Amino acid sequence: MANHPASSDANRTLVRDGARRRRWVRRLRESAGMFAVIVAGFLLASALHESEIVQRINNLVFDQYQRWKPRVWTPDMQVRVADIDDTTLERIGQWPWPRQRIAELTDKLAQAGAAAIVFDALFSEQDRYAPRELLTHLPPLPERDALLRAMQEQRLLDADPLAAAFARAPVVAAAALTDLPVRDRPEVKASFVTLGDNPRPMLPHFENMVMPLPQLRAVVQGLGVINYIPDLDQVVRRVPTAFAVGPRGSEIIAPSLGVEALRVALRTTTPIIKSTNASGEQTFNDKKAIVAVGIGDAAFPTEADGNVRVHFAGAQPGRRIPAWKILSGEASPKDLENTIVLIGSSAAALADLRATPLQSAVPGVEVHAEFLEHVLSGSQLVRPDWAWGAEAMAVVLGGLLIALLVRSLPPVLAAGAAALLLGAGLAASWQAFAQADLLFDPIIPGATWLAVHAITTVGVFRRTARERREVRTAFSRYLSPVVVEQIAADPSKLRLGGEMRNVTILFSDVRDFTARSETMTGAGVVRFLNALHTPLTDIVMASGGTIDKYLGDGLMAFWNAPLDTPDHATAACRAALAMTAAVPAIDAKLRAEALAEGREHRPLRIGIGLNTGDAFVGNMGSEQRFDYSIVGDPVNVAARLEAATKEFLAPIIVSESTRRAARGFLFVDLGPADLKGKAARSRLFALHCAETDAAPDWETFCARHEAVMSASPSDRSQLQRLVAEAQGTPTGAHYAGLYARLLKGEKTAIAEAIQAGGS
């Protein structure tokens, strides 16, 4: 029953729609997988965002940024360190000094016009050089007795000289925070104004405060906390601006030493702490946080807990003034006037050392100086609250881009593109630091992009492996295993769609197949074809050839596609000789089967035609089904050459182009012949054998055969004599068909050849 045209169109539509749906399902699955990778990367980034390891790595990156571009220090910075260095200790005496000497240093700085005199030292204990009645718990000291005599002579026993000096100068004394019990209640000089949310829960918290002696804290203008809160690696990167001190719920806000120094120097009493919900201030994630601190005309942003990440300038000789020069009057007044002077020690024996991003060991007083310079210079090294949102967006967009690149580009190019993206992320982070004092994390986006690249690459490799398996499955039916493995290893060598290539084509055919098949059942014909094609196919594939198709009892193959085979004509000739050499073994097996079944056996003979030329090779057919095949005039010529083997009774006939291209073989000139579909006559050659297999009479035969081919057809007697001489050699006996054709004329010779052995 014939198919209705409408039914056929409907079937084609269903097949086309099914293929389209499969493509969309595959693309949807791939997109879903890509999206899942990005989501996984985002979740990974979120999980690692606050982790200790990421913070450590970020700190290392930001420290390197500071080493690449430290804050610029200039001599006009209004911050100096009165350094109690080793030379000062040699000149003045070991620490601790008598309070009278510290009072003298204070008076010298006040007379020079210092804006604030800041002590990075606690005065929480009585002076060991104080009057005897105040120091009955201390052993006698010669220095103390000498000081007592001097004070008696100057009538200073009734007053504390240090307290008197502090009262005459803009002094900021130091306090220390602790969670251990102390004798005094915390108190401060500054009265903070808070804007927005209550900052106390966000500030670093301590229970108690160790303060200077009552007579000292009563007269100083400022009282600041000297505590640091180093990071996990004990590097001081952030300096607190304030602390919450006291029992929870009733804390007071205590300023840091640097903030108090600024307050005193700027002659203000009310520093301002600005938090979220002050004048519309909000954080990106709506968390409560401290936003900024204001002191007089100076205002600077802070991190959520009120800390300031300091942009360090590093050790600067111009920042330090040895204390002995100030005491001796040798220090320049210009270096001290309207300057915040911090008094501290760099002496090795006092071991007041801290690690910073730029140096592994600096005096603690230098950190306070760096903080003050950072604020006064206008540096604002901050990580904005919206940084995590920007980094999350970079994670998603960069991850999508990398996933697309990995799926679209070759592995090396995809890896290069991913490396460029990672470099761009690091460069953007660096530029944000260098140009805008902003800190953006290059680690989380970079690590996520690497994870996306790794996961997507694994997916691509899995897809590639699947495609290679498909290639192996598809082409293992047509190509040799070696060729299949080469294509699977590099699928780019297989150009789907087709291309022009110079190839050698082989056609083979069984003689007398029609008469043979009449004596066999259908199953017997199939067994015969399988017994024939299996060994012949193995020979073709072993030589690197491609099986194009089976034409019943015939076979079509070609060389130099899809992979390059430089000596394809040679490989094809070698395969053709091997195929004819395999025929006797195949015939013996078929004879044994025929005898076992009690039927007549016909001897097996095949003819092979070979031609070399440019043909179009590629996948041909429809979207539903296609074949890897070859088309072009060289294919038709090869088929005609196979048919000519019946006429010339020669097992293998090749074209002149194949004879020129093949190397290492012996050929017999069959002369010109008319091939169907060709306007000009074609010169044909019989492939005789490999050069290494030449018979002893080959040279003799070649000379006699050349004489035959050169003889005039009109001189019948001479032609008969020459043919007899050539045919009389062992090699010439193989070409009886050719000589009969020459003697009897083409038409008669063809008819007899067909009658004798063609089909």
pLDDT digits 0-9 by tens, 512-549: 888 788 778 888 889 999 999 999 999 998 999 999 89
Give me the pLDDT at residue 586, please: 94
The encoded tokens of residue 694 equal 């030449």
Residue range 84-99: mean pLDDT, rounded: 87
Residue recorded with tokens 């005199």: 117
CATH H-level superfamily of 497-691? Nucleotide cyclase, GGDEF domain (3.30.70.1230)
Query: Is omega for the bond preceding 562 within 30 degrees of 0, making it cis?
Result: yes
Residue recorded with tokens 């592995």: 411
Residue 90 burial (CB count, 10 A): 11
Mean pLDDT rounded to a whole number for the chain: 82
By percentage, how much of the chain surpasses pLDDT 70?
A: 81
On the question of pLDDT at 46 being above 60, the answer is no
Give me the pLDDT at residue 462, please: 77
Question: Is 49 in contact with 390 (CB distance < 8 Å)?
Answer: no
What is the SS3 assignment for 127-171? CCCCCHHHCCCCCCCHHHHHHHHHHHHCCCCCCCHHHHHHHCCCE
Give me the pLDDT at residue 508, please: 97
Give me the pLDDT at residue 209, please: 93
CA–CA dist 388, 584 (Å, integer): 80
Give me the pLDDT at residue 634, please: 95
Question: Is 323 in contact with 90 (CB distance < 8 Å)?
Answer: no
pLDDT digits 0-9 by tens, 479-503: 556 556 666 666 655 555 678 999 9
CA–CA dist 255, 273 (Å, integer): 11
Give the SS3 label for residue 595. helix
pLDDT digits 0-9 by tens, 248-300: 888 999 999 999 999 999 998 889 999 988 876 555 556 788 889 999 888 89
* pLDDT-derived band at 569, boundaries 50, 70, 90: very high
Question: Is 655 in contact with 682 (CB distance < 8 Å)?
Answer: yes
Domain residue ranges in the chain: 1-71+385-475, 72-376, 497-691, 695-759
On the question of pLDDT at 145 being above 90, the answer is no
* Among the listed residues 622, 687, 616, 598, the one whose alpha carbon sits nearest the alpha carbon of residue 648: 687
* pLDDT-derived band at 623, boundaries 50, 70, 90: low
Residue range 49-63: mean pLDDT, rounded: 80
On the question of pLDDT at 386 being above 80, the answer is no
pLDDT digits 0-9 by tens, 577-621: 999 999 999 999 999 988 888 888 889 999 999 999 999 988 777
Give me the pLDDT at residue 564, please: 86
* Interaxial angle between packed helices 411-436 and 443-475, expressed in degrees from 0 to 180 and rounded to the nearest 10: 170
Query: Which residues on adjacent β-strands are paired with residue 616?
Result: 500, 631
Residue range 470-477: mean pLDDT, rounded: 66
Give me the pLDDT at residue 127, please: 64
Give me the pLDDT at residue 39, please: 62
pLDDT digits 0-9 by tens, 207-249: 999 999 888 888 899 999 999 888 888 899 999 999 999 998 8
What is the SS3 assignment for 564-584? CCCCHHHHHHHHHHHHHHHHH
Read off φ and ψ for residue 555, nearest 5 degrees.
-140, 140
**DSSP label at 355?**
B
* Among the listed residues 722, 699, 700, the one whose alpha carbon sits nearest the alpha carbon of residue 710: 722
On the question of pLDDT at 147 being above 50, the answer is no
Give the SS3 label for residue 320. strand
Give me the pLDDT at residue 353, please: 85
Query: Which residues on adjacent β-strands are paired with residue 119?
Result: 343
Give kind and range of the element (H or E) at residue 51: none
Give me the pLDDT at residue 505, please: 97
